[in-house]
Amino acid sequence: MRKVFRARNVFLLLVSLPLVLYIAYAVAFDYRTNSCAPGDRVLQSEADAIEVAKRKFIQNPRVRFHMGDFVSASAFVDALSETRDCCSAVRSVYFPFLVVWDVQLYERTAARPNGRSAQLFLSNCGTIFTYDSYALAE
């Protein structure tokens, strides 16, 4: 009869169990984050990510400057059309298979020459991870 509880078997179990649990957690997190909710869809391009970021920013404008709030989220997004090179989006894939879009919206008009900027991190389906905003002064 073979011994099941040999020191080597117990050691392998204690080493492999946390590793398996970590991998299961990471895969479940990525699945939840990259899965689309009803009404959402997978972001296909930079332009698609920018449009979704503008829409999400208007829907939930809790982004803060260091100096205060945005006066109006829709006014900020409308002013983006007056600014050349107002927006950029970068797609990154992190381990294990987590897709994150880093979208930056930059607004500079004649009324606001120093400009304002907002940065949003979106999942692959357009869900906002975190809000980060800052004022740029030149």
Range of the domain at 125: 35-135
Is 61 within a domain?
A: yes
Is 130 within a domain?
A: yes
Is 87 within a domain?
A: yes
Q: Name the DSSP class of 92.
A: E
pLDDT digits (tens, 9 = 90+) for 64-90: 544 445 567 777 787 787 777 888 999
Q: Which two tokens stand for residue 129?
A: 């991870």
Q: Do 104 and 118 touch, CB atoms closer than 8 A?
A: yes
- Prior bond to 18 cis, omega within 30? no
Is 19 within a domain?
A: no
CB atoms within 10 A of CB 89: 21
Q: Do 105 and 117 touch, CB atoms closer than 8 A?
A: yes
Is 17 within a domain?
A: no
Is the pTM higher than 0.95? The answer reads no
Is 90 within a domain?
A: yes
Q: How many domains does the chain have?
A: 1
pLDDT digits (tens, 9 = 90+) for 17-42: 999 999 898 888 777 777 777 777 88
Is 4 within a domain?
A: no
